[in-house]
Structure 1
Amino acid sequence: MFRLICDGEAVTRSALVRRTGMARSTLALRIDALLAHDLVYETATTASTGGRPPSRLAFNQQAGTILVADLGPSHARFVANDLAGTRLAESVDELPISAGSEVVLPRVQRGFEALLVALGQPPQRVRGIGIGVPGAVDFACGVPVAPASMPGWESSIPDWFAERYDAPVIVDNDVNLMAFGEHRAYWRVLEHMLYVKVGSDIGCGIVAGGRIYRGTHGAAGDIGHIRISGHDEALCSCGNVGCLQAVASGRALARALSAQGLAARDAHDVVAHVRAGEPLAMQAVRDAGRHLGEGLAGAVNFFNPSAIVIGGDMADAHQQFIAGLREVIFQRSLPLATTNLQIAPSRIGDSAVAFGAATMVIDRILAPDSIDRAIGADAVSA
């Protein structure tokens, strides 16, 4: 019933009775419970001609606040949204995740508090929290799984916030949240999609059957450690050699360009050189796209996605990068696997993690079983 109201498919009592088959008395109790919890509101549609005025029911997207933290290797983005995912406030903090959870989580809490103060809202208004981190996560309990970039993050992040907010907390790998947000915003009609983040590191979010696929322990999509032929000299942070991440990531490209005398500290510098028309950088980025294509060709044959979306810092140089990527994927993948395959840059950009996290949290707290728990005994039928 609540979903019918939210989607605008049935917004009057009579329409809800017809769509749900509920008795009017049962329907009235459930609507009263939703009204009491501010999840819906009621407005008159026309002037009354006698008796109870006709009215329409609508989802109250201002009935609570969703807090989101996008924790990157060196920064944190904090966002407050309403229950429809509309952004209400945002801030950015220079915050290295390598400082460990004992340092980072209190800073996240202060970032959340600042957003609530700016909005004039108390902590009790928080309905859910979403947090993205740059490493594998045991999604069921919200614990990072020994990511190299996150030393000192062995405890449950949801448990830490449970002491401060009476709200569910979702923690996931940042690229999964990017994939979820991009799919929901622009590719919802597709069942199967790969979202590849190419920044300092390389990772992949997998959408299978319209849902995020994480694997048994949350490690699905860690394509950065696929071995690329002919690069045995490239030492990866994982201890192996020839990993895609050690050859084609923004960090690897910056290192290679610096060795050729072109100043580049990170992926942003690489992209800046590409935009300036620097031939060395343009060739390096196209070659990186080819290397990624080598790693993804097997995934295309195995998974047969409808689309591959490229996000992360290197997406800003997508013309050269995607040209190299397409060249190798269509050369090495089976024709049937590439029929109608779309390869495109991310359209959400820097907001992908925050949008994906907010949307994932909203889906959870507005799911039918969550609504039933929220309104509790008030919804008991006559």
Structure 2
Amino acid sequence: MLMRTSEIFDLLRDGRGRTRSELSRESGLARSSVALHIETLIQVGYVTPVGDAASTGGRPASLFAFNPGARLVIGVDVGATHVIVELADLSGEGIAASRADIDVAEGPEAVLGWVEQAIRGLVGQQDRALEDVVAVGIGLPGPVEHATGMPISPPIMPGWHRFDVAGWLRQRLGCPVLVDNDVNIMALGEQRTAWPDTDDLVLVKIATGIGAGIISGGRLQRGARGTAGDLGHVRVPGSSAPCRCGNEGCLEAVAAGPAIAAKLRALGVEVSGTADVVALAAQGSVDAAQVLRAAGRDIGEVLATVVNLVNPSVIVVAGRLAGAAKELHAGISEVVYRRSLPLATEHLQIAASATKGDAGVRGAVVLAIEHALSPEVLDAELPSRSRSGQPVVMRYTS
């Protein structure tokens, strides 16, 4: 059986040390073939000896394990008014991070210029070379065309339309750059961090807009052009509220942060935006609780359809309005459990985000790792690296 080096590496991704004999049994390869694959992986640093197995008589066999410190990845979370950059190893363990308050409306070159300098600074602080970074994942707060990684007519990102984000950073950093919208990135981060054993999850971000990241069968579902999960522009029955997209009755126009704040102002409550709504809810405002619960019901109307269509095990409520999770959850749960099929909701959990605002950057790290360690990338990289005689940075072995 012909097996690629990446497939042997994949057996070691769980971090458990194995002997050549164990790898031979698990892969079905001859021990001599396993030894060749292991040697290639050791040469490039992705696998390292980690001691000896327990002796059963005679010389103990050597154990080999994944070396996550062999290379680095970068996760970048670009928000409306902030940017977070995290340096991580190949297991996703965060090493260092940098954050800045930057308005995305300043434009791509200003924002990405800061990102580039932050990456260089974080890598240098760890006494590593920029060449050790094998991929960058980045999430943007707007629609992203999946095939190109370009933002398309993002409403809060002037100057970003069809800007080549990946190409701009790749030219300066010399490594692959993966771009996706922030809600997809958040879904990846939440799933890997808080729900690692869940293959079917929907993350709903409720803030200035409303969107969803959908993980089904363990895979992020982006749709044909990357717009899957755009719940904010699904029509809410009975509503005629004008939406910024030009249509009427969109969920965003009814239940997002600005819409909730407007409803409270109509009741005579002084609020300027989403943060004030969350603060009022925390203070026990009856008006805020009632408006938030009604918004939750509207969101639940749309989510009930999602539950019937994709049958998730978990719905995670995230975004700036997640701070008012109690009231939102009450409204969402009321409608979802009433309007969805009983079999679909029998074991359904509706939960608040557990990542405390880090879902975006954690998901961006996951996006980078999945690319860097994919079989296609590894099998293209490993032979060239091993033949080129590039030095292996064994001092970073954990």
- TM superposition score normalised by structure 2: 0.88
Aligned length: 379
C-alpha deviation, 1:89, in angstroms: 1.1
C-alpha deviation, 1:352, in angstroms: 0.5
Residue 392 (structure 2) pairs with residue 374 (structure 1): no
- Tell whether the 8 Å contact from 2:73 to 2:90 is kept in structure 1 after alignment: yes
- Tell whether the 8 Å contact from 1:5 to 1:58 is kept in structure 2 after alignment: yes
Residue 95 (structure 2) pairs with residue 88 (structure 1): yes
Equivalent positions of 1:259-270 (< 5 A) are 259-270=266-277
Residue 358 (structure 2) pairs with residue 346 (structure 1): no
1:200-235 deviation per Cα after TM superposition (whole angstroms, max 9, x unaligned): 211011112211111111111101011223432x32
- Structure 1 match to 2:177: 169
Equivalent positions of 1:36-51 (< 5 A) are 36-45=43-52
Deviates more, 1:19-28 or 1:219-228: 19-28
Cα distance, 1:231–1:46 mapped onto 2, change above 3 Å: closer
Q: Structure 1 counterpart of 2:126, which letter?
A: L
Give the distance between the partners of 2:51 and 2:111, measured in 1 at CA: 48
C-alpha deviation, 1:10, in angstroms: 5.9
Which fold has the larger relative contact order, with Cα–Cα distance below 8 Å and residues 6 or more apart in sequence? Answer: 2
Give the distance between the partners of 1:6 and 1:216, measured in 2 at CA: 30
| 3-state SS in 2 of match to 1:274 | helix
Give the distance between the partners of 1:180 and 1:285, measured in 2 at CA: 27
Equivalent positions of 1:1-382 (< 5 A) are 1-8=8-15, 11-45=18-52, 54-153=61-160, 154-232=162-240, 234-377=241-384
Give the distance between the partners of 1:117 and 1:254, measured in 2 at CA: 44
C-alpha deviation, 1:245, in angstroms: 0.7
C-alpha deviation, 1:326, in angstroms: 0.9
C-alpha deviation, 1:379, in angstroms: 7.0
| 3-state SS in 2 of match to 1:41 | strand
C-alpha deviation, 1:350, in angstroms: 0.5
| 3-state SS in 2 of match to 1:348 | coil
Q: Structure 1 counterpart of 2:217, which letter?
A: G
C-alpha deviation, 1:261, in angstroms: 3.8
- Tell whether the 8 Å contact from 1:188 to 1:210 is kept in structure 2 after alignment: no
C-alpha deviation, 1:360, in angstroms: 2.0
1:133-183 deviation per Cα after TM superposition (whole angstroms, max 9, x unaligned): 111212222111222122322122111122122322111111111112222
- TM superposition score normalised by structure 1: 0.92
Give the distance between the partners of 1:106 and 1:284, measured in 2 at CA: 41
Give the distance between the partners of 2:234 and 2:53, measured in 1 at CA: 63
| 3-state SS in 2 of match to 1:62 | helix
Identity of aligned residues (%): 42
Give the distance between the partners of 2:314 and 2:54, measured in 1 at CA: 50
| 3-state SS in 2 of match to 1:356 | helix
5+ residue gaps in structure 1? none
Deviates more, 1:39-48 or 1:25-34: 39-48
Deviates more, 1:45-54 or 1:363-372: 45-54
Give the distance between the partners of 1:182 and 1:113, measured in 2 at CA: 27
| 3-state SS in 1 of match to 2:48 | strand
C-alpha deviation, 1:49, in angstroms: 12
Q: Tell me how large the CA RMSD over aligned residues is.
A: 2.3
C-alpha deviation, 1:323, in angstroms: 0.4
| 3-state SS in 2 of match to 1:58 | strand
- Tell whether the 8 Å contact from 2:17 to 2:65 is kept in structure 1 after alignment: no
- Tell whether the 8 Å contact from 2:75 to 2:363 is kept in structure 1 after alignment: no
Give the distance between the partners of 1:42 and 1:354, measured in 2 at CA: 31
Deviates more, 1:248-257 or 1:77-86: 248-257
4+ residue runs over 4 A deviation: 46-53, 377-380
Q: Structure 1 counterpart of 2:48, which letter?
A: Y
5+ residue gaps in structure 2? 1-7, 388-398
1:349-380 deviation per Cα after TM superposition (whole angstroms, max 9, x unaligned): 31101111111221221122322222115779
Cα distance, 1:229–1:160 mapped onto 2, change above 3 Å: same
C-alpha deviation, 1:126, in angstroms: 0.8
- Tell whether the 8 Å contact from 2:333 to 2:350 is kept in structure 1 after alignment: yes
Give the distance between the partners of 1:246 and 1:324, measured in 2 at CA: 17
Deviates more, 1:92-101 or 1:332-341: 332-341
Give the distance between the partners of 1:91 and 1:263, measured in 2 at CA: 35
Give the distance between the partners of 1:206 and 1:378, measured in 2 at CA: 36
| 3-state SS in 2 of match to 1:164 | helix
C-alpha deviation, 1:12, in angstroms: 1.0
Give the distance between the partners of 2:308 and 2:54, measured in 1 at CA: 62
1:107-156 deviation per Cα after TM superposition (whole angstroms, max 9, x unaligned): 22122222223323221121110100111212222111222122322122
